[in-house]
Each structure stands twice: as C-alpha cells, then as structure tokens.
Amino acid sequence: MSQETLRRVIPQTQAMFDAYGVLNGDNDIIHYDDQFAKDRGFRGTLGHGLMYTAYVCDLAAKRYGADWHYRGRLTVKYVRGVCPGDNLEVRLEPDGTVACQSQFDTTLVGSATLA
Amino acid sequence: MTRPTDVKPREGEQPAALYKDWVVGAEFPPLPFTITRDVVQEYQSVVAADPANYVIKGRQAAPPNVVLVYMMAVMYRLYPPQQGGIMIGNTIEFHNPIWADEDTDVIGTGRVTEKFEKKGRKYICYDVDFKRPDGTRLVSCSHTSAFPE
C-alpha cells in the first residue's frame, strides 16, 4: 500500500457539471444557472458534491485496492463551492486525510480509511 | 437498465417538499433499480475514474460509489426536491463490490435521521442503504443537505 500523498489536479468546466447531471438526473439550477448561483452568493454555478466525492474515492481505491470495496469508509464535508474554471487539486494523505483545493479555497475536507 | 433519470424526480417538475414537511424517522419507500454496465462506463467517464484502480483479483469492478448517483432518488420519491439545495456532507461505507462486467440489481432504502436550522439554513439529514435483492449489503450513506425553504 502506497504511503505517499496521492494527488490529482482536475480542471473544472461547466461541461463536466452538465455531463454528471445528465447521468444522475440532477436538475437543480444551482448547477446550471450562473445568475441564480451568483444571486445566492456563489462565484458561479456549483459542481456536484458527489462528483468531487468520486475524485476522492478514486484515490482511495488506488491506495487501498480490494479492501476499499469491502471496508472502505469515507467522510467528507463540502466547505466551499467549486465553479467552472477552478483548478481542483484532490489529495489523499498517508494518514487518510482527504482534501480538495482550488486556486481560491479549500472546498472539501474529510478522511478515507478502512473500517 | 435503470438510469437515475428514470427513477429520480427532477427539481422543478412538481411541488417541492419544504423543511416543514420533513419528518424525522420517516422511511423512504424501497427503490429497486439496476446498475448496468453502460451506467458504470458512463459514470467512470464523468468522474474521471481510472478503471485500473478497481481490479479485484483480476476482475474489473466498478467504482463502488457509482451507486451514489441513485442516492437522492431514494429520498426524493418521498420528498420531491426543491431548487437550490446544497450538499453539506456524507459518510459512506462500502461493504461489497459492484462489478463492471455484469448488471447489478439493487434496492435502496432509507430514513430521515435529523433536521435542524442553523444560521438561517435548513438542514436535513438522512441515511440510505443499498443492498442486493438477496440482502447483501453494498453501500451505506449518511447524508446532510441544506435547503433554502
């Protein structure tokens, strides 16, 4: 099992938000209507929280292998929105700490461990 | 084949459940669906998952979190969604693989666990369990969202 920090940088686009929404059926306009999102105090449309969760899970699956499927445990909090144009860095530390960070802020914090 | 859009009420299509409507302890009706190989492939694509990270003893598994695209459908069938919901947090446990080379029948169930207001936001907490029809547990999730009304 790798004990180094695992990281990926995934630039975010509206097309990615749209593609995820086509699959999961999410019609919440906070993901698609720029003005609606800005009126609610965000920088722009928001990406789907479970999309970022999946980015973290991908690193956890890489680290923990088969064990992740049988006793993986992920806890995440979405602390800031992710908007089109954000360069999102996803990290999994050796102790299981996870985070997503854009050029603007930390957007997700939590942990990915084995039960 | 069950795409999430086949079973998920969509925001804005019917009157939304409001904070006052949610009842702590309310059980969501069981939601049966099938995760097909096509859905697994599409999911891998939209979340930029690397299939190499999901091989178990030579067999290709799906990202087990693929089931999460159905999570809100379980809840929304009892409480139709409102626009402007914000996801706050999740605790997710994985119990058994979902394979990429077969279709997987799943039943989603769940319940409302908590509701509270804080700093002008209205928070809803609920649990969802995903099992195979034979009772094999796949994934469980404790979820929190905030809604405007």
Tell me what ipTM this predicted complex has: 0.94
| Cα of B32 to nearest chain A Cα, Å | 16
**Chain B residue numbers touching A56 (CB-CB < 8 A):** none
What pLDDT, on a 0 to 100 scale, did the predictor assign at position A1?
A: 66
Give yes or no for B133 touching A (CB within 8 A). Answer: no
The pLDDT score that the predictor gives to residue B8 is 78
Instruction: Identify the CATH number of the domain defined by range A6-114.
Output: 3.10.129.10
Q: pTM of the full predicted structure? A: 0.93
pLDDT number for residue A35: 95
Predicted local confidence at residue B1, as pLDDT: 60
Question: Mutate which of A24, A36, A73, A98 to test chain B, going by most B C-beta atoms within 10 A?
Answer: A24
Q: What is residue B15's predicted lDDT score, i.e. its pLDDT?
A: 83
What pLDDT, on a 0 to 100 scale, did the predictor assign at position B11? Answer: 66
The verdict on a CB contact (< 8 Å) between A78 and B87 is yes
Report yes or no: A57 at the B interface, CB cutoff 8 Å. Answer: yes
Could B81 and A28 be called an inter-chain contact, meaning their C-beta atoms sit closer than 8 Å? Answer: yes
Q: What is the pLDDT of residue B85?
A: 80
With b for 16 or more beta-carbon neighbours within 10 A and e for fewer, the B66-88 pattern comes to bbbbbbbbbbbbbbbbbbbbbbb
Residue B33 DSSP symbol: E
What tens-digit pLDDT sequence spans chain B (149 residues)? 678 878 877 666 778 889 999 999 999 999 999 999 999 999 999 999 999 999 999 999 999 999 999 999 999 889 988 877 889 999 999 999 999 999 999 999 999 999 999 988 899 999 999 999 999 999 999 999 998 88
Give the residue ranges of DSSP H helices in chain A.
14-24, 34-39, 49-64, 67-71
Pick out chain A residues at pLDDT < 70.
Answer: 1-2
The reported pLDDT for the residue numbered A52 is 94
B58 in A contact zone (CB under 8 Å): no
**Does B40 reach chain A within 8 Å, measured CB to CB?**
no
Domain boundaries, chain A: 6-114
Identify the pLDDT of residue B44.
Answer: 97
Query: Is-contact B7 B73, C-beta < 8 A?
Result: yes
CA distance B94 to A67: 9
Using an 8 Å Cβ cutoff, are A25 and B13 in contact?
A: no
CB contact under 8 A, A20 and B47: yes
Q: Quote the DSSP letter at residue B16.
A: P
B4-35 as b/e: b if 16+ CB within 10 A: bbebbbebeeeebbebeebeeeeebeebebeb
For the record, the structure tokens of A100 come out as 């997503």
Query: Contacts of residue A36 in chain B, CB cutoff 8 Å?
Result: 83-84
Confidence (pLDDT) at B127: 98
Distance from CA of A85 to the nearest CA of B (A): 17
Would you call A46 an interface residue with chain B, using a CB distance cutoff of 8 Å? yes
As assigned by CATH, the class of the B24-147 domain is alpha beta
